[in-house]
A and B are shown apart, each in its own frame.
Chain A
Amino acid sequence: MNSYIKYLLKRVFYMLITLWLIATITFFLMQFLPGTPYSNAEKLSPEQIALLNKQLGLDQPVIVQYGQYLLNLLKGDFGISFQFKNQAVSNLLGGRIGPSMQLGIQAIIFGTFFGTILGMISAMKQNTWVDTTATLIAILGRSIPNFVFAVLLQYIFAIKLQILPIAKWDSFIYTILPTIALAMSPLADSARFIRTEMVEVLHSDYVELARAKGLSRWEIAFRHGLRNSLIPLLTLLGPLAVGLMTGSLVVENIFAIPGIGEQFVKSIMTNDYPTIMAVTILYSAMLIFVIFIVDILYGIVDPRIRVSEGSRG
């Protein structure tokens, strides 16, 4: 069997273990939580509480509850929200996945695209004022927290200049400010990374050979430099995804976007544990998935991995 396929299967195995681990940790951590699922517990008599407990299966030994929990997870059942008493968590979150995904994907495309351009220019004009400016932008992007950016953008474009909507998610134009706010971090990271990679590539032997062929600097940068720098960029995608998840919590809040992040923050405020658990697992699953996709992409994009070593001449 192709060693690469074997590698991928191994990765899937680890992914599943991670998922199981996070589900377990979440479950047992929640056992430590004080309080009950019932907000009006004081009004209930002990018998009523015992009855409700039985209904929810809370009177069973922990191990059994755990088993049930895992089974439910596999079915996609995350329980009932504490905040919204008659809503299943999966319903609550289901509709919110769309906006969050859209925001995330827009942000990552915007961020990596402009970041790459910035990084490339920086590398080509190394140590000139262009490089310094671009690096400065990258540092600002990395240092100023994204919620500060979000508020800043809101302030300038929505409040002062009034050319973009201040919040909500009604049409494409509403997505512009939050996308930019969320994209600043990926932009800064990509720019820095591409610059470093490009500089190294530009000093490599094959670039020197390309120059000896009479190619211009820009031709070399685009045809040889870019592909060789973009491939390692894939390794950034995992951490970038984490950054997006983090960022989405505040950005969605500030811009009142009906996504998972916004709900998550609300759930934290209201101690809605089932939802918190669900989002935790969901985020983990997404991250693992992204890492997996990166591995596959690597195999497709890098010829050294894609084309197996079998065809030596």
Chain B
Amino acid sequence: MMKKILEVKDLKISFETYAGKVQAIRNVDFDLHQGETLAIVGESGSGKSVTTRSIMGLLANNAIVESGEILFNGSDILKKSEKEMQKIRGKEIAMIFQDPMTSLDPTMTIGKQVAESLIKHNKISKKEGLAQALELLKLVGIPNAEKRLNNYPHQFSGGQRQRIVIAIALICYPHILIADEPTTALDVTIQAQILELLKEIQEKMNSSIIFITHDLGVVANVADRVAVMYAGKIVEIGTAEEIFYNPQHPYTWGLLGSMPTLEGTSDRLYAIPGTPPDLLEPPLGDAFYARNEFALKIDAEEQPPFFEVSSTHKAATWLLAPQAPKVTPPEEIQIRWAKFKEKQQSRA
């Protein structure tokens, strides 16, 4: 196994609001390895964005870190001061944001915006910074980069702006790149281009990427490992192949089932009914039980622990307990399981 570059342990984060305390992250635990792409998938409100903000140290003022550690380079990020974090942000850990139309300062040239973090972190001159910025713009595929250094964001299309945002994130050659729904706000064709770009970059720089999304389809192309989040917890985590072809948690089934694919034989898309639970008063048991058609009695009372499916794959569902009945997953999932078995056998 490759070296671990980031370790998130037992993370619990709440937010103080006028209505009470919202438990945004109830328990999150994962590692990031050098050179890999880890995708975190979940609905809005699942806690994926809060997780990334906590890694960057960019939580809102009313956030309370109840417990947990985020280990990077041997020290705990949660315990660092703002000044220490400023040295890390942009330089060692960088972030790509979701909406390219609003992520760039409309009154500053893009050359300056790209060079800004490099100039600050490496203490170089403005001229050198701009020269580097130019290189990065070429790297991310902005045509005519020399002339466009002095242009303003509104003079670029959405896809190009997102490339600029990526350039900003990459310019200091960070160890970890966090991509927070980088393609959600873009057209489908542009999405594909951006994903291609990210893959290229990862190969060139051997960086580690955390890729946040709500869209499993996007994930299939880029991720080495996938973590599925629901109501502030990771419910299933494994390699991409394991998650796509051997999913064990009913929520993952739901996500996969609602993904239109060309392979399935059913004519209807399976949609998970209902909405995520209120995190002001999370349910006692498994948070997914209300929408889970495979729920067991114990799901309403106790939260399931992680059950190991393989050395790289675990899922938090009572369905994997020895006492649990054998359930028949939706047709879509059965097809995938069958494929998984095939792959395993062909390897054996």
Known contacts A206-B105, A224-B108: A312-B89 contact under CB 8 Å: no
Report yes or no: A215 in contact with B86, Cβ–Cβ below 8 A. Answer: yes
Contacts A209-B103, A223-B108 given; does A214 touch B117 at CB 8 Å: yes
Q: Which of B18-26, B39-47, B143-151 is found at the contact surface with chain A? A: B143-151
Q: How many Å lie between the Cα of A302 and that of B108 in the bound state?
A: 10
Q: A-facing mask of B115-148, CB < 8 A → 1, else 0?
A: 0110011000000000000000000001110001
Q: Are A313 and B107 in contact (CB under 8 A)?
A: no
Residues in A with CB closer than 8 Å to B116 are: 210, 213, 215, 223
Nearest Cβ distance between residue B107 and chain A, in whole angstroms? 5
Does chain A have a CB within 8 A of B70?
A: no
Interchain CB contact under 8 A, B105 and A313: no
Is A208 part of the binding interface, using a Cβ–Cβ cutoff of 8 Å?
A: yes
Q: How many chain B residues touch A (Cβ–Cβ < 8 Å)? A: 39
A211 partner residues in chain B, CB cutoff 8 A: 58, 89
Query: Does A204 make an interface contact (CB < 8 A)?
Result: yes
How many contacts between A and B, using CB within 8 angstroms?
Answer: 93
Binds A, one of B94-102, B200-208, B244-252, B311-319: B94-102
B160 within 8 A of A: yes
For B193-225 the 0/1 string (1 means CB < 8 A from A) is: 000000000000000000000000000000000
Q: Is the CB of B120 within 8 A of A209?
A: no
Question: Hey, which chain B residues are within 8 Å of A212, CB to CB?
Answer: 56, 58, 89-90, 94-95, 97, 169
Q: For B160, list chain A residues within 8 Å (CB).
A: 313
Q: Are B168 and A213 in contact (CB under 8 A)?
A: yes
A210 to B115, CA, bound (A): 12
Name B148's contact: one of A219, A304, A313 (CB within 8 Å).
A313
**Chain B residues closer than 8 Å to A204, beta-carbon distance:** 102
Q: Is the pair B102, A205 in contact by a Cβ cutoff of 8 Å?
A: yes
Q: Does A170 contact B (CB under 8 A)?
A: no
A-facing residues in B21-56 (Cβ within 8 Å) = 56
Q: Are B120 and A214 in contact (CB under 8 A)?
A: yes
| Given contacts A214-B87, A216-B86, A219-B120, A304 and B106 within 8 Å (CB-CB) | yes
**What is the bound-complex CA distance between A14 and B86, given in angstroms?**
52
Whole-angstrom distance between the Cβ of B176 and the nearest chain A Cβ: 12
Contact A213/B120 with A303-B106, A313-B144 known, Cβ cut-off 8 Å = yes
B104 at the interface (CB under 8 A from A): yes
Q: Which of A209, A224, A227, A302 has the most CB of B within 10 A?
A: A209
Least CB distance from A234 to B in Å reads: 13
Q: Does B155 touch A at the CB level, under 8 Å?
A: yes
B155 contact from A205, A214, A231, A307, Cβ within 8 A: A307
B86 contacts across to A, CB distance below 8 A: 214-216
Residue B157 CB within 8 A of the other chain? yes
Q: Is A309 an interface residue (CB 8 A)?
A: yes
- In the complex, per-residue mask of B175-193: 1 if CB is within 8 Å of any chain A CB, else 0: 0000000000000000000
Within 8 A of B (CB), among A156-187: none
Task: Report the Cα distance A223→B106, complex, angstroms.
Answer: 12
Closest approach, in angstroms, between the C-beta of B17 and any C-beta of chain A? Answer: 16
Is A83 part of the contact surface with B, judged by Cβ < 8 Å? no
A26 at the interface (CB under 8 A from B): no
Beta-carbon nearest neighbor of B104 in chain A: A206
A210 to B91, CA, bound (A): 12
Are B58 and A227 touching (Cβ within 8 A)?
no
A309–B155 Cα gap in the complex (Å)?
7
Given A303-B152, A307-B155, A309-B155, A205 and B97 touching (CB < 8 A)?
yes
Instruction: In the A-B complex, list the 9 residue pairs whose CB atoms are closest, starting with the nearest.
Output: A214-B90, A213-B117, A214-B89, A213-B90, A205-B102, A212-B95, A303-B152, A206-B105, A214-B86
13 A-B residue pairs with Cβ-Cβ distance under 8 Å, sorted by A, are: A205-B97, A205-B102, A205-B103, A210-B105, A212-B56, A213-B117, A227-B107, A228-B105, A303-B106, A312-B155, A312-B156, A313-B144, A313-B148
* A contact set with B: CB distance below 8 Å: 204-206, 208-216, 219, 223-224, 227-228, 231, 302-304, 307, 309, 311-313
Other 11 A-B pairs with CB < 8 A, given A213-B90, A224-B105:
A209-B165, A212-B89, A214-B88, A215-B120, A228-B105, A228-B107, A231-B107, A302-B107, A309-B155, A311-B151, A313-B157
